[in-house]
Amino acid sequence: MTGDAIGRRADARASAESRSRAARLAFGFGSLLAVAAGATIAFGSPPLVYQYVPLALSVVVLGLPHGAVDHLVLPRVRGDPVTPRSLAFVGVLYLLLGSAYALVWVLAPVAAFILFILVTLVHWGQGDVYALLEFVGADHLETRASRLLALLVRGGLPMLVPLVAFPGQYAFVAETLIGVFDPGAATALDPLFEPTGRAAVMIGFGSLIALSLLRGGCRTSPGERWPWLVDAAETLGLVGYFATVPPILAIGLYFCCWHSLRHVLRTMLVDPVASAALERGAIRTAVSRFARDAAPLTLAALAVLVGIWLAVPRTPATVADIIAVYLVGIAVLTLPHVVVVTLLDREDGIWSP
């Protein structure tokens, strides 16, 4: 199913104008990453404590709330009412998967960290594949194989490029997250940060990027290359961004201004009220609608974070430790969120082209 086909299927929920406004918002906020890269090149990296600011803000701005309407999106995309059964499904999903993953963090934090990277790679790749189809009309992603390749590339950019470009800071983040549960256990990942491990990642992932872009370019005709050019520009731009901006700051900005924003816009497009507000340019109304819908489960997510804070073996004593506990909480919540987004993708036919 091409981007145009997804757009036609969504007509009952979102007009072309509301989708166009959503796309402009996505690209507008995404351009902030280019500003951050330019500022880093011009003025250097800010002190570490300031690099944590976007991640800290993501607790209430876009980051944590972006998944807080999971209980509403599936009924809305299907055109069904929200029922106790639909709410119970999402609630049980979060309870079972979240609890199981939290236990993995306690018992095997190194494995939990690796799973966090892999799950985030898949999830952020999912988000970009949807955006390419819905906002760009990426007809060069006409097959399931091309979309899977795009998922691996787009999800791999924030997860793998910083490993190659900033191995010391990447290792620091791994040590702080794993160290919350087992100080010293992160040494098991040291081979990844050595020159040989980084070279393997660079060659392997670089080959995937080249294959994805070349495959897409070969499947477009000369007069229809605009979507592919947007895809290529975003991909190469993100390579430059994550190779330039230090990882903690880069991920925080990307999480809020790129991934979370695009998912929030997706949830607005399946909400008739928010979609209608976007159509008439009432952005504030659409945002207020989302904020109202997301508020209850955002508060519930904050309660989960407090529970994790109380459950960790040692009290977080530094900014890095506090953010590490937050990221563990994000990891626990991301796993069931990915299941919901996968079901949402299925409803939109993204993996049935």
| CA nearest neighbour of 351 among 142, 198, 207 | 142
Binding positions for Fe cation: 66, 123, 259, 263
pLDDT at 13 over 60: no
8 Å CB contact between 19 and 135: yes
Binding positions: 66, 123, 259, 263
Task: Measure the CA–CA gap between 75 and 86, rounded to whole angstroms.
Answer: 7
8 Å CB contact between 263 and 67: yes
Min mean pLDDT across 33-37, 99-103, 234-238, 274-278 is at 274-278
Question: Is 251 among the domain residues?
Answer: yes
Question: Is 2 among the domain residues?
Answer: no
301-328 pLDDT per residue, tens: 888 888 888 877 777 778 888 888 899 9
Give the model's confidence band at 256: pLDDT under 50 very low, under 70 low, under 90 confident, else very high: very high
Task: Measure the CA–CA gap between 77 and 254, rounded to whole angstroms.
Answer: 26
What is the SS3 assignment for 59? coil
pLDDT at 28 over 90: no
DSSP, residue by residue, 209-251 = HHHHHHHHHHTS-GGG-HHHHHHHHHHHHHHHHHHHS-HHHHH
Range of the domain at 206: 14-42+53-77+86-348
8 Å CB contact between 105 and 316: no
DSSP assignment letter at 316: -
pLDDT at 1: 45
Given the structure tokens 């934090």, which residue do they identify?
109
Mean pLDDT of 30-39: 90
8 Å CB contact between 30 and 257: yes
13 phi and psi angles, rounded to 5 deg: -105, -35
pLDDT at 162 over 50: yes
Burial of 113: CB neighbours in 10 Å, binned 0-12, 13-18, 19+: buried
Burial of 155: CB neighbours in 10 Å, binned 0-12, 13-18, 19+: buried
8 Å CB contact between 247 and 172: no
Residue percentage of the chain with pLDDT more than 90 = 54
Higher pLDDT, 241 or 48: 241
pLDDT at 292: 92
pLDDT at 353 over 90: no
Question: Is 4 among the domain residues?
Answer: no
How many domains is the chain partitioned into structurally? 1
Min mean pLDDT across 18-22, 114-118, 154-158, 205-209 is at 18-22
281-294 pLDDT per residue, tens: 888 999 999 999 99
Question: Is 1 among the domain residues?
Answer: no
8 Å CB contact between 181 and 313: yes
Task: Measure the CA–CA gap between 310 and 161, rounded to whole angstroms.
Answer: 33
47 phi and psi angles, rounded to 5 deg: -55, 150
Helices (H) and strands (E) in the chain, counts: 17, 0
pLDDT at 126: 95
8 Å CB contact between 29 and 289: no
